[in-house]
Amino acid sequence: MKPKTKTTRARPAKEQILRVAKELFAERGFRDTTIREIAKRAGVNGAAVNYYFDTKEALYVAIFEEAFERFRDPLSRLPAQVHDQASWRAALEAWFDFVLELFLLDTPERSIFRRLVAQERAAPGAATARILENVIRPVAGILRDLIGMSMPDAPPAAVHAAFITTMSQCAVFMHRDPPWDRFLFAPGVPRETWLRTVRDEIVGNVCARRSFVRRPAP
């Protein structure tokens, strides 16, 4: 049996800190969550939190980065897969599947992340600029690239307007805790079915107004 290294011994404590911090940040937001509370619930001392993450802001950003890490590569490959109208629509569907699954499906991981995003949107804090730059912009930028493929000769402001208004149709589902859920979901429709219905409505509207023209030069 191989002896345990410092890294392997440390991993459970670091993972426990991340798990607890996600729950507290989702419940209270960045400003109202303290390192002391995270350490107490995680069963470690405050020095351990600072050892792994340096600051509360670094821990907060790490949670967002971890949430997107396993999705980032598949999403980043979507623009390169587009070569005609059908593949363009398929790429749009894949992007909206990703975002709507985060906001509509109630697995523990997705539910916590949805609440984290809602907290961040409602009360931007010290870490907002880093989250926008490191997490949100790379993922949102993929949709902007896809929209731009239907507007190759349009001015940047027009492309950005089309991209923002398209993406914003997902944002309504961030704040959907009861009683808002009764307003935002069709009665009696299974969540997965509702997700596909919303996705098809958004993508269908995009494709009704625009068509793939060409992939912009990098």
> What is the C-alpha separation between 16 and 33, in angstroms, rounded?
16
CA distances from 140 to 19, 106, 183, 188 (A): 25, 22, 26, 31
Which comes out higher in pLDDT, residue 190 or 3?
A: 190
Q: Which of 117, 115, 93 is nearest to 166 (CA)?
A: 93
- Domain-by-domain residue ranges, the chain? 1-54, 67-209
Residue appearing with tokens 């600072």: 50
155-172 confidence digits (pLDDT tens): 999 999 999 999 999 989
107-149 confidence digits (pLDDT tens): 888 888 888 888 888 888 888 888 888 888 989 999 999 999 9
4: pLDDT confidence band, cut at 50, 70 and 90? very low
Contact 136, 67 (CB under 8 A): no
SS3 167: helix
For domain 67-209, the CATH superfamily is: Tetracycline Repressor, domain 2 (1.10.357.10)
Judged against a pLDDT cut of 80, whether residue 83 lies above it is answered with yes
For domain 1-54, give the CATH number: 1.10.10.60
Q: What is the mean pLDDT of residues 27-31?
A: 90
Stated pTM of the model: 0.82
